[in-house]
Amino acid sequence: MADYINFAVTGLLHTFLASLIGILVLFMLRKHRRKARAYEKLMPPGEMGIPWIGETLDFYRALQKNRLFEDFIAPRIKAHGKTFKTRLMGSPTVIVNGAEANRFFLSNEFKLVVSSWPASSVQLMGKNSIMEKSGEQHRVVRSILTSCLSNKGLEGLVPKICKVVKDHLEKNWGDKPQEERIISLYKTAKFLSFRIMCECQLEMEAEEELFECFEKVLEGIFSPLVNLPGTSFWRAKRARAEIEKILVKLVRQKRKVIEEEQAVGGAAAEETRTLLSRLVSAMIRGEITEVEVVDNIVLLIFAAHDTSSFAIAMTFKMLAQHQSCYSLLLQEHSNISTNKTKEGEDLTMEDVMKMNYTWQVARESVRLFPPIFGSFRRATSDIEFDGFTIPQGWKVLWTAYGTHFSEDYFKDPMKFDPNRFEEPISPYIFVAFGGGPRVCAGYQLAKMNILIFVHLAVTNYNWSLVQPNEPIVMDPLPLPSQGMPLRVSPKV
């Protein structure tokens, strides 16, 4: 009998405990579901697409045709508003549009968001470059770069850049009066930007083989992280290893030279020091390491050559299609040339500063054809924006299109009109060069490169587009599909 009572009590106790646990689990599940529902309510509207892949295929299809805004972003803005969610390459992502979004996400770098590149880009550009740094480490590298990429740092470089551009034009566009050639503007301008970085900032020859290595790395930059023989990532990794070997040698040689100079108490004057010299000096002072120097050089070469060459190509495309703008631009350059007393006299920084209309044309061209359409950030905590919650860990994509192509900021936005830039534009509206702590560190060099090139090309050559309707595609950055052939001949 006692056994029976004992058994019954134990059974009851078990049933009671099991029910209690069941009730608790149910309660927690309901609470979690309620919280998730509340969270869901606060999250931006939008479609997450199919598991993992999300809307990646639609995104890439639009990107490849250079119609990301028209085919992907604009229809979603229409359906959900300026802030919407999607899933891209496995990551839940919020796409934000407009000047307020640009201001919020670009200026809150390091506080609420950090820049977020695909794993393949990080491995190929280097884990130790400025793009992977934040806070104080970012500040240290950035101050070294801006010391020689600012207007003051670049002043002494104007004659050197002119020399490289003249040599480039003579070799590629020809030097015999009226000799007609067909050249690929985009491809040759790419090599020119590479030459300017190598010869004016890195004290090295711009070898074709090295350039080819950079091209191979670029092909793998957004590829899947599959390091198997034959894949584009594998080819890119091998090319990156070649580049690294050359750069390590260059950095060590420069270190030896600087240390020898320092031993006898001499050093190059601050204003004549190149980017290489400043990076290596910082390494000697212990501010950065050798790998950081190498990774930053690799990043800078990438940051410079595809962007500037595309900006140059789009400036010429727009000039060819808008002859009245071209006449105004020619007038600006002929005024600068006639003020020169000697034939073939080099441009000065003062001359470059006078090229206001040309810079308006170039900015209007990159407004319509941004070389970098936007970039990804990652939320480091839950973020409240535009009445929504963006959960920690989600990606955020800001794009230049959100303001550049919007009637809210530019009247008749798809019309080419360089006069828009006559007056200063409020911050975070024109964002072809980004904004906030990560605003383009090479803005002044890019500007100088474009202006000097335009001056020497339009004053010395006749030119016309061979394919006026050549499409722009993305691979992985925007480019004219045929490399933008130009018919060129030296002016008599």
Q: Which stretch binds ligand HEM (CB under 6 A): 89-97, 220-228, 296-304, 343-351?
A: 296-304
Question: Which residue, 198 or 456, has its beta carbon nearer to ligand HEM?
Answer: 198
We find the least distance from the C-beta atom of residue 144 to ligand HEM, in angstroms, to be: 11
Site for ligand HEM in 416-435 (CB under 6 A): 432-434
What is the three-state SS of the chain? CHHHHHHHHHHHHHHHHHHHHHHHHHHHHHHHHHHHHHHHHHCCCECCCECCCECHHHHHHHHHCCCHHHHHHHHHHHHHCCCEEEEECCEEEEEECCHHHHHHHHHCECCCEEECCCHHHHHHHCCCCHHHCCHHHHHHHHHHHHHHHCHHHHHCCHHHHHHHHHHHHHHHHCCCCCCCEEEEHHHHHHHHHHHHHHHHHCCCCCCHHHHHHHHHHHHHCCCCCCCCCCCHHHHHHHHHHHHHHHHHHHHHHHHHHHHHHHHCCCCCCHHHCCHHHHHHHHHHCCCCCHHHHHHHHHHHHHHHHHHHHHHHHHHHHHHHHCHHHHHHHHHHHHHHHHCCCCCCCCCCHHHHHCCHHHHHHHHHHHHHCCCCCEEEEEECCCEEECCEEECCCCEEEEECHHHHCCCCCCCCCCCCCHHHHCCCCCCCCCCCCCCHHHCCCCHHHHHHHHHHHHHHHHHHEEEEECCCCCCEEECCCEEECCCCEEEEEECC
Question: Which residue, 328 or 440, has its beta carbon nearer to ligand HEM?
Answer: 440
Asked whether position 308 contacts ligand HEM by CB under 6 A, the answer is: yes
Question: Which residue, 433 or 490, has its beta carbon nearer to ligand HEM?
Answer: 433
Asked whether position 307 contacts ligand HEM by CB under 6 A, the answer is: yes
**Per-residue contact string for residues 122-161; x = within reach of ligand HEM by CB under 6 A:** --------xx----------x--x---x------------
- Choosing from 98, 371, 402, 478, the residue that interacts with ligand HEM (CB under 6 A) is 371
Question: Which residue, 370 or 483, has its beta carbon nearer to ligand HEM?
Answer: 370
Asked whether position 304 contacts ligand HEM by CB under 6 A, the answer is: yes
We find the least distance from the C-beta atom of residue 284 to ligand HEM, in angstroms, to be: 22
- Choosing from 300, 318, 379, 448, the residue that interacts with ligand HEM (CB under 6 A) is 300
Q: Which stretch binds ligand HEM (CB under 6 A): 12-20, 38-46, 301-309, 471-479?
A: 301-309
Asked whether position 121 contacts ligand HEM by CB under 6 A, the answer is: no
Question: Which residue, 102 or 406, has its beta carbon nearer to ligand HEM?
Answer: 102
Cβ-closest residue to ligand HEM? 442
The Cα 225–Cα 232 span in angstroms is 9
> Exposure string (b/e) for 207-240, b if CB count within 10 Å is 16 or more?
eeebbebbbbbbbbbbbeeeeeeeebbebbbebb
The Cα 293–Cα 346 span in angstroms is 32
We find the least distance from the C-beta atom of residue 302 to ligand HEM, in angstroms, to be: 9
We find the least distance from the C-beta atom of residue 374 to ligand HEM, in angstroms, to be: 8
- On whether 440 is known to bind a ligand per the annotation, the reply is yes
Regarding beta strands 383-385 and 485-490, do their DSSP bridges make them parallel or antiparallel, or are they unpaired?
unpaired
We find the least distance from the C-beta atom of residue 202 to ligand HEM, in angstroms, to be: 10
Residues contacting 154, CB < 8 A, separation 6+: 148, 349, 444, 445, 448
We find the least distance from the C-beta atom of residue 434 to ligand HEM, in angstroms, to be: 3
**Per-residue contact string for residues 253-292; x = within reach of ligand HEM by CB under 6 A:** ----------------------------------------
Q: Which stretch binds ligand HEM (CB under 6 A): 242-250, 276-284, 371-379, 401-409?
A: 371-379
We find the least distance from the C-beta atom of residue 132 to ligand HEM, in angstroms, to be: 9
We find the least distance from the C-beta atom of residue 295 to ligand HEM, in angstroms, to be: 11
Question: Which residue, 319 or 441, has its beta carbon nearer to ligand HEM?
Answer: 441
- Choosing from 94, 125, 311, 379, the residue that interacts with ligand HEM (CB under 6 A) is 311
Question: Which residue, 158 or 174, has its beta carbon nearer to ligand HEM?
Answer: 158
Q: Which stretch binds ligand HEM (CB under 6 A): 57-65, 279-287, 441-449, 464-472?
A: 441-449
Residues that bind ligand HEM (CB under 6 A): 115, 130-131, 142, 145, 149, 300, 303-304, 307-308, 311, 366, 371-372, 375, 432-434, 438, 440-442, 445-446
Residue numbers in the known binding site for heme are 440
